[in-house]
Every structure is written in C-alpha cells, then in structure tokens.
Amino acid sequence: MAGPVYIVCGGTGGHLAPGIATAQRFQEMKLPVELVISEKEVDSRLLQSYPDIPYRRAKGAPFGWKPARLGAFIGKTFLGFWQSYNLIRTRRPAAVLAFGGFLSVSFCIAARMHKVPVILHEANRKVGRSIRSLSRMADMVFLPDGVTLGGLPPRRVRHLGMPLRREVEHIPKDEIRSRLGIPLHAKVLTVVGGSQGALALNQWVERHRASIASEGIWIFLVAGPGKQSLPELETYQSDQAGPVEVRTFAFHTALHELFSASDVVVSRAGAGTIAELVACLTPSILIPFPYAADQHQLANARDLERRGGTILVEQEKLKTLYREVHDLIYNDWLLGQLRGNLRRLNYGDPAMDICRFVQARYLDAPLNPDTRADQPGGIMANGRL
C-alpha cells in the first residue's frame, strides 16, 4: 500500500471544506489520507465536527504587501517549507492534493523536490495566485467548467465542480423547519457574510432587522467569529404572522441546514457557498466581496446569474438590497424558477471523482467494482508537523 495522500486545504473555509469532503470519500474507499491545515481558528472550528479525519497543522500566513504582513508571509512560509520537506522525506505520501491558499505553495514545492505527484483544485471562476504559480509543476489541475489556465497542455487539465461534504444536501423544508422550530408557512431569510466580508452584511441586518421582521420574515444571521454584535436571539411581533425570530450565530458548521430552511439567502459569492446553495436548491441574492483577489467572487456570481440561479447585487448598490429581498421572497413564481435552474446545475460528486482519479493513477490499492474510474460519473478515459 502506498503512503497517505496529503490534502493541503487550510486557511479559509473555502479551502478547508472541499478538503474535508475529499477526505471523507478517501475514508469511504478505505484509502489512507491526512489533512494539512493551518493554525487559524476557522480550521479548528470546522474540524471539530470531523474527529475521525486525521490532520496535521502547518506554518503559513497569507501574502500581503504591507511590511508586517509580508514579513509574516516570508517567515512562516519558510518554516512551513522546512516542516513539509522533512515530513515528506520521512513519510513519503502517494500524492499531494492542494486546494489553493497560502499553505499550498511550500507543501507543493517540497513535494516536487521529492518527486511526489502534485494535484491542484481551483473552485473559483478566476484562478487564484497560488494555483497559477504552482500549475506548471502539477500532474493534474482541476478547474471549473469553462475556466482555462494558459500554458498547460490539455492532458493536464480536467474540469470539475466543487467537492461537498457528505452531509451537504437539500433537506425537505417541512423536515428541517420542524427540527429548527420554524413555522412551515413563515418566510425565512439567511444572511452570511463569510470570514472577510461579514461587516457590511452584518450592519445591513442590524439596520433593517426590525422592518424585515415586522413583515413576518424570520432571519438567520451568521455573523462570523468575533464579529457578532447582535444577541443570539431576538423576538419581534410581526404585523400579520405573530412572533418572528432573529437568530444570530458567530459560526455555523451546518449552513446547508439554514439554506434548506430558507426561502432566500443573502451571501457573499465564494465558490463553496455557491456550491452549497446549488446543492440545497436555495434561491439567493449574491453580493460579491469587492476586495476579493482578482475579483473572483464577482466572476463566481456572474456565472451563477448567467445560469439563472441567483440575483447579483454589487456592494456599491447595497442600498437596493432591502427592495431586492422583499421583491424576491414574496415572488413564489420567481423562487420556483430559480430552484428549477439550480436543480439542473446539481449533479455529480466531484469529491468522489478526485478520489477515483488518485486511486487509479497513484495508489496501489486495487479498484473496487463500485469505484471504477470509468463508471458513469467518473472522470478518467491529529497533530503537528
């Protein structure tokens, strides 16, 4: 049996969640796998729900031009490279699978120095800096449908969607609302700002929650760790629907439950969030974070809007959001159209496709009959370092 596959995926939820999803499929196939995550709190919070997935923490820091940030990036990247180099030398993996972000650079370079295969996955419609810089040393680069990366021969590029954790799926509304204590007839709005872009959306909820609740609309706000200024629960009396609740969470590990319970979600436009909205068949209003690298969130939102799965509102037009929410959440015909379009986008299992690819190409384990890479849906023709 070959060594484990190291999945490098820490730093943000958008990188960590698909890494967890892919690790789940490796474990289902009884193949050795370990996650490599950062020392950030967001990684620890999400992994608490997956105690059976082995992981290692690695040094690293995001890139930035300001002196303090640049210094941290250089210093921690060097330490991360030294750690990864020694790890790969002493416990050689079958392959390194990286989902982008600051941890990917040092780990992938160390892997290539030891002639370990490198596989990259990019989920956004604009390819990130780390994936671009590492792509020429990769055996395979997985990109979203229609996205290209210059300089790579076609044999080293495959198109694939965003891996989703096993539990992320549409839950029937009557079931999830009963579980969450929400009346089936109520209108529900969920607002998620993400790790970087929460402030503007949190402030929007603070300003408008009383007016929204007075119209009988329940609100879930996922404010972000350290950014919660509202109480966890507020109750308002609506004009027609009786008591209405505004529930605020600092962090939520099961956003798919909130999405499935909601009529409309207002969110930033990270690739992971969009993939979960598609899986949960939830209509949305996407507000791309305007300072995202290379405007990748704007590209993500425009693509989903082009496919009829969302309404795009840029942050400079945030003053129109109240009207957009009101017009959409009470328009059952349009909500039905959006759900139908999302249903047509909801297919396949990218996480399992990656596992089939890795198993067939790099691992010694024989292919099981039910995990052959040429099956329909296939893509082939807890510690420190």
pLDDT in tens, 335-366: 999 999 999 998 789 999 999 999 999 986 44
Question: Could you give the CA distance from residue 46 to residue 336 in angstroms, rounded to a whole number?
Answer: 32
Q: Is 314 helix (H, G, I), strand (E, B) or coil?
A: coil
Is the domain of 151 the same as that of 188? no
Is the domain of 114 the same as that of 223? no
Whether 294 maps to a domain, the answer reads: yes
Is the domain of 189 the same as that of 110? no
Count of domains observed in the chain: 2
Residue 346 — φ and ψ, nearest 5°? -100, 90
Write out the E strands in the chain. 5-8, 33-37, 55-57, 95-98, 118-121, 140-143, 157-159, 187-192, 217-222, 233-237, 243-249, 264-267, 284-286, 311-312, 383-384
Is the domain of 188 the same as that of 312? yes
Instruction: Encode pLDDT of 132-189 as tens digits.
Output: 999 999 999 999 999 999 889 999 999 999 999 999 999 999 999 999 999 999 999 9
* Predicted local confidence at residue 375, as pLDDT: 39
C-alpha dist (Å) from residue 49 to 45, 180, 230, 364:
8, 19, 25, 30
Written in H, E and C, the secondary structure of 100-111 is CCHHHHHHHHHH
Nearest to 131 by CA among 116, 118, 121: 121
Average pLDDT, the chain: 88
Whether 211 maps to a domain, the answer reads: yes
Whether 254 maps to a domain, the answer reads: yes
* Predicted local confidence at residue 369, as pLDDT: 41
Is the domain of 44 the same as that of 86? yes
Which residue type, as a one-letter code, is found at position 246? V
Is the domain of 137 the same as that of 240? no
pTM of the model: 0.89
User: What does the block give as tokens for 355?
Assistant: 């596992």
* Bridge partner residues of 218 (DSSP): 188
Is the domain of 263 the same as that of 308? yes
Nearest to 284 by CA among 273, 296, 271: 273
Which residue type, as a one-letter code, is found at position 177? R
Are 136 and 152 within 8 A, CB to CB? Answer: yes
Is the domain of 155 the same as that of 182? no
Is the domain of 185 the same as that of 266? yes
Which residues neighbour 358 within 8 Å (Cβ) at sequence distance 6 or greater? 5, 26, 31, 94, 95, 97, 119
Whether 295 maps to a domain, the answer reads: yes
Whether 168 maps to a domain, the answer reads: no
Whether 293 maps to a domain, the answer reads: yes
Q: Is 39 exposed, middle or buried (0-12, 13-18, 19+ CB in 10 A)?
A: middle
Question: Could you give the CA distance from residue 5 to residue 118 in angstroms, rounded to a whole number?
Answer: 10
Whether 120 maps to a domain, the answer reads: yes
Is the domain of 85 the same as that of 193? no
Which residue type, as a one-letter code, is found at position 270? G
Is the domain of 30 the same as that of 118? yes
* Predicted local confidence at residue 343, as pLDDT: 96
Domain of residue 321: give its range: 173-345
Write out the E strands in 172-227. 187-192, 217-222
Whether 215 maps to a domain, the answer reads: yes
CATH number at residue 197: 3.40.50.2000
Is the domain of 244 the same as that of 367? no
Ranges in the chain, pLDDT < 50: 365-385
